[in-house]
Amino acid sequence: MPKSVYKRILIKFSGEALKGDRSFGVDPAATSTIAAQIKEVVELEIQIAVVIGGGNIFRGMAASRQGMDRVTADNMGMLATVMNALALQHSLEEIGVATRVQTAIEMRQIAEPYIRRRAIRHLETGRVVIFAAGTGSPYFTTDSTAALRASEIDAEAILKATKVDGIYTADPKVEPDAKRYDTLTFQEALEKRLKVMDSTAFSLCMDNSIPIIVFDFGNPESLPRILQGHPCGTLVTN
């Protein structure tokens, strides 16, 4: 593969990416597939950080709508992201990729606490850094976590892995006539209330000029094309 146009990126995965064809939990085969693609990025000498959701295990907002206290529900959701981070760490290290899991909620027996300078040093030495437990505070999504951590580590772009090849005017699985956007500004994404990321994440990336690329992680050609600077998916910028 030709040399990447990026030096440091952050990839955001949903928790569902780890469950594969299962209805719940972590599928080792799906997790290994993700790890293999991340290894290809590492071999290009790109510094890579990862944020994973926890929706395959527990959804805090869904539990809150069903009557659970929102703070409790969000705390449980943050713990679910730690479980996913550890699963991905295992799959990466099984194929020889050095990793560190850093959590916003301290649990020193299983992961490092999040420290910005330490995270950057891990990236500089070639380790994949997986950020878990969200921001450590309720009321923030893992999309917001991705935007925050990308800003803190000076990532050049956020790559949001999804099951579709970009951002559409509507859900293409529900409305086959939905149109895909090749590019969007952050302001347009906010005004159109596009659901691919929450407004806090869009606003934070807009303020810090971090582009977001939404792409289909199921297509093995998507990630190489993005890293080479070719148009792929939907690009959201200022």
Residue-wise pLDDT tens digits, 148-184: 999 999 999 999 999 889 999 888 888 888 899 999 9
* Matching residue, tokens 């290809």: 40
Burial environment of residue 122 by CB neighbours within 10 A (0 to 12, 13 to 18, 19 or more): buried
127 within domain boundaries: yes
Q: Tell me the whole-structure pTM to 2 decimals.
A: 0.93
Q: What is the pLDDT of residue 23?
A: 85
Does residue 1 sit within a domain?
A: no
Please tell me the distance from the alpha carbon of residue 236 to that of residue 131, in angstroms, as a whole number. Answer: 23
Residue 79 lies in a domain: yes
Q: Is residue 3 part of a domain?
A: no
Residues of the chain with pLDDT under 70: 1-2
pLDDT at 171 (0 to 100): 84
Cβ contact 217:50 at 8 Å: no
Q: Which two structure tokens, joined as six digits, stand for 154?
A: 């000076």
User: Is the CA virtual torsion 221, 224, 228, 230 positive or negative?
Assistant: positive
Backbone angles phi, psi at 34, to 5 degrees: -60, -45
Contact in structure between 87 and 93 (CB atoms under 8 Å): no
Dihedral sign for Cα atoms in the order 20, 25, 28, 32: positive
Token couple for 130: 């997986």
Asked if residue 222 is part of any domain, the answer here is yes
Examine residue 131 and state whether it is found in any structural domain, yes or no: yes
Kindly state the tokens that stand for 129.
């850094």
Residue 214, in any domain of the structure: yes
What is the Cα 5 distance to its own chain's centre? 19
Residue 194 is predicted with a pLDDT of 85
Find the largest Cα–Cα distance for the chain.
52
**Three-class secondary structure assignment of the chain:** CCCCCCCEEEEEECHHHHCCCCCCCCCHHHHHHHHHHHHHHHCCCCEEEEEECCCCCCCHHHHHHCCCCHHHHHHHHHHHHHHHHHHHHHHHHHCCCCEEEEECCCCCCCCEECCHHHHHHHHHCCCEEEEECCCCCCCCCHHHHHHHHHHHCCCCEEEEEECCCCEECCCCCCCCCCCEECEEEHHHHHHCCCCCCCHHHHHHHHHHCCCEEEEECCCCCHHHHHHCCCCCCEEEEC
Host domain of residue 153:
8-237
Please give the pLDDT value at position 58.
87
pLDDT score, position 170 = 85
Q: What is the domain count for the chain?
A: 1
Cβ 227 vs Cβ 159: under 8 Å: no
Residue 2 lies in a domain: no
| pLDDT given at position 67 | 86
pLDDT for position 2: 60
Look up the CATH number of the domain holding residue 203.
Answer: 3.40.1160.10
